[in-house]
Amino acid sequence: MKDDRNAGLFWGSEGQLSSLSCFVLLFAVTSRMAHTILISIVIFLIFPITSVVLKSSTILIPPRHDFFIRIIVVSALTAIASRLFSIPWPLTVRDCAFYLGAIPLCYVSGSYKLRFESTSTLSTLVLSAKDALVFSTLAFAFALVREPFGYGALSVPGPDGVVEFFGLNAVSNLGARFASAGAGAFILIGYIVALYRKIRFRLYGKPLCGDNEQ
């Protein structure tokens, strides 16, 4: 079996497809590329900034209230980011309000706590940015499959809502729209997790369905 201690970001037990820690965002947001772009940018800002703020104020935070302070900081930063992005993209931010609220949950339910406690400020920043990069890569890959099949287009956020490109009405029939619905997301993610296990087994020899397998 190959050593996978350095493969935690994608292939380790804390990898996003392994722990599905940002499942809600992968599930809901990736039906539209415009929403994926907005959420990815917010995550790219929030994860590293929160980690650095918390890491640099470790001495000030009483251990007893550590968790609630962490959640309040990440919620406050997400609320500020939502306000800032509602200036250029008001309608997209309004459409994504439900999912923007889930970003703090993804932050605390992911593996960020371990990284935050075990590394220096610079390492925390780099690891958080890498986490955001892994999420964004997965989210863009999902959106590139789901939106063209579901809506027959690719969209980007604009001041008056989403701006669509490459309108393909032939693709966007009822059967294809299934890919953009919640049911399609479940099935797509189910097959991708199975494929991920197979590749991980080939690369690292990790069991396809072990005791701690998620």
Question: Footprint of other proteins on this chain (CB under 8 A)?
Answer: 20, 23-24, 26-28, 67-68, 71-72, 75-76, 78-79, 82, 97-98, 100-102, 104-105, 108-109, 178, 181-187, 189-191, 193-195, 197-198, 201, 208-209, 213-214
**How deeply is 40 buried, as exposed, middle or buried, from its count of CB atoms within 10 A (0-12, 13-18, 19+)?**
buried
Q: What is the DSSP string of 63-132?
A: GGGHHHHHHHHHHHHHHHHHHHHTTT-HHHHHHTHHHHTTHHHHHHHSSHHHHHHHS-HHHHHHHHHHHH
| Closest approach of other proteins to the CB of residue 212, in Å | 10
Are 207 and 201 spatial neighbours (Cβ–Cβ below 8 Å)? Answer: yes
| Closest approach of other proteins to the CB of residue 166, in Å | 27
CA pseudo-torsion sign 85, 90, 92, 95: positive
Which of 99, 157 has the CB closer to other proteins? Answer: 99
| Closest approach of other proteins to the CB of residue 20, in Å | 6
| Closest approach of other proteins to the CB of residue 185, in Å | 7
Which of 27, 140 has the CB closer to other proteins? Answer: 27
Q: Please name the amino acid found at residue 150.
A: G
Which of 23, 44 has the CB closer to other proteins? Answer: 23
Which of 34, 179 has the CB closer to other proteins? Answer: 179
